Amino acid sequence: QAETSVTLYGLIDAGLVYQRGKVGRTDGARPQYGGDYQSRLSTGANQQSGSRWGLRGSEDLGDGLRAIFVLESGFSPTTGRSGQSDRLFGRQATLGLAHDAYGRIDLGRQKNVASNFLKGIDPFELDFLQATAGTAFSAANSVRYDNAILYHTPVWGGFQAAVGYSFEFDQDRTLPGAFENDEKNRAVTAGLRYASGPLEVALTYDQQFRHPSAPQPKQAILGAAYDLEVLKISAAYGYTKDGLLSGQDIDLVAGRNNPNTPARGTGTTNQDFTWKGLTVHSYLVGLSAPVGASGKVLGSYQRADPNKNLSATDVYSLGYLHDLSKRTNLYAFASYANRAAFVYGNKMTTVGVGLRHRF
């Protein structure tokens, strides 16, 4: 064993968060919380980035081939608990082979393509609680799949493609007695990215194959960002069918319109939701701009507009980052979500400040 081949790294993000919200008349959480405004101030974990510690390494096997691995453990710094449903390496656990000419293949638990390729297009980099573009674009909501194989091409003239498949994306959601492949919850993920000079464009497609009789949620996203140096602007459009791939869990609200009528959808629009025939059009416009040598301001507006008499969610977000060093920064952000989780009357304001440190 050569100890030198492995890098131990990590990130901790902790701060304070103020939340104030209201639960709409048809939201599933109304019986629990009532309809008045509720608010709280508490510690805020993982607002800008998920806290993690990890091990990663690379070994040169000759002829342009490398063995590569990442073991990345997510946790909450405010409770010390493991994240990702109490997985040890819940953020990523992959072993792979990379070749200069033929690309890279990774096997294990990992993020889908959309959650990687759209990170650079969302000014909030798919983070900051409800401000993430994942609120409107569920396939980019840091979706992670167990038992996945993901292939990335090399970068050719700025272009890179990726395609992946998960044999069983979460065993906790597998029905008892499932053995054969088509009895498992599977997923396909694919994307194409172009990045050159100031321009970045990403196109992704995700589809889940759930238990045989369940709807199969799918989403296509097209996003682009252009860096004018004084300002970086971005925009994205997404089309969703038959369900959300991974809803954004906004505290307080639940979202399901009618929990007693499964014909009106399964699950909660706040987390995991399928409904045969559901379509959602998602939009994002965003900007970010440097402020002085160590500051950066972020802003975005996103909308997810569903059919089926659900209401369109609007989210307005503003943030500020301030570097204390290369590895440490402060942040502050505010976000207002109206008709959160597709329910009229749901409102949620989130204001957070925090410190992020990488090692």
Residues 16-35 that bind its own copies (CB under 8 A): 32-33
- Give φ, ψ of 104 to 5 degrees: -135, 140
Residues 171-190 interacting with its own copies (rule: CB under 8 A):
171, 176-177, 179-181, 184
Measured CA to CA, the distance from residue 171 to residue 186 in angstroms comes to 10
Dmax over CA atoms of the chain, in Å, equals 65
Query: In this chain, which stretch among 82-90, 199-207, 270-278, 332-340 interacts with its own copies, using CB under 8 A?
Result: 82-90
Taking the least distance from each CB to its own copies, the nearer of 33 and 283 is 33
Q: Give the x/- contact pattern for its own copies in 288-327, rule: CB under 8 A.
A: ------------------------------------xx-x
Taking the least distance from each CB to its own copies, the nearer of 77 and 345 is 77
Query: For the CA atoms of 44, 335, 267, 178, what is the dihedral angle to 10 degrees?
Result: -60
Options 26, 30, 49, 77; binder of its own copies; rule CB under 8 A: 77
Quickly count: other Cβ atoms within 10 Å of residue 50's Cβ: 19
Structure tokens at 243: 């369900």
Measured CA to CA, the distance from residue 1 to residue 9 in angstroms comes to 19
Q: Is 50 a residue that touches its own copies (CB under 8 A)?
A: no
Taking the least distance from each CB to its own copies, the nearer of 8 and 101 is 8
Q: Is 212 a residue that touches its own copies (CB under 8 A)?
A: no
Q: What is the closest distance, in whole angstroms, from the C-beta atom of residue 113 to its own copies in the complex?
A: 18
Q: Is 71 a residue that touches its own copies (CB under 8 A)?
A: yes
Please say whether the beta carbons of 50 and 74 come within 8 A.
Answer: yes
Q: What is the closest distance, in whole angstroms, from the C-beta atom of residue 236 to its own copies in the complex?
A: 29
Q: Is 57 a residue that touches its own copies (CB under 8 A)?
A: yes
For the residues of 130-171, what is the DSSP string, one character each? Answer: GGSGGGT-GGGS--EEEEEEEEEPPPBTTEEEEEEEES-S-G
**Residue in this structure with the two tokens 């194989």, named with its chain if needed:** 149
Question: What DSSP state is assigned to residue 174?
Answer: S
Taking the least distance from each CB to its own copies, the nearer of 308 and 327 is 327
Q: Is 53 a residue that touches its own copies (CB under 8 A)?
A: yes
Q: Report the SS3 class of residue 257.
A: coil
Q: Report the SS3 class of residue 80.
A: coil
Kindly list the distances between the CA atom of residue 282 and the CA atoms of 113, 119, 239, 301, in Å, as whole numbers in the listed order. Answer: 18, 16, 6, 11
Q: Is 69 a residue that touches its own copies (CB under 8 A)?
A: yes
Taking the least distance from each CB to its own copies, the nearer of 94 and 346 is 94
Q: Is 228 a residue that touches its own copies (CB under 8 A)?
A: no
Among the listed residues 222, 278, 50, 54, the one whose alpha carbon sits nearest the alpha carbon of residue 144: 50
Q: Is 43 a residue that touches its own copies (CB under 8 A)?
A: yes
Query: In this chain, which stretch among 52-60, 123-131, 132-140, 189-197 interacts with its own copies, using CB under 8 A?
Result: 52-60
Q: Give the x/- contact pattern for its own copies in 88-117, rule: CB under 8 A.
A: xxxxxxxx-x---------xxx--------
Measured CA to CA, the distance from residue 141 to residue 217 in angstroms comes to 14
Q: Give the x/- contact pattern for its own copies in 236-275, rule: CB under 8 A.
A: ---------------xx-----------------------
Q: Is 84 a residue that touches its own copies (CB under 8 A)?
A: yes
Q: Is 231 a residue that touches its own copies (CB under 8 A)?
A: no
User: How far apart, in Å, do the first and last CA atoms of the chain sit?
Assistant: 24
Q: What is the closest distance, in whole angstroms, from the C-beta atom of residue 307 to its own copies in the complex?
A: 31
Q: Is 137 a residue that touches its own copies (CB under 8 A)?
A: no
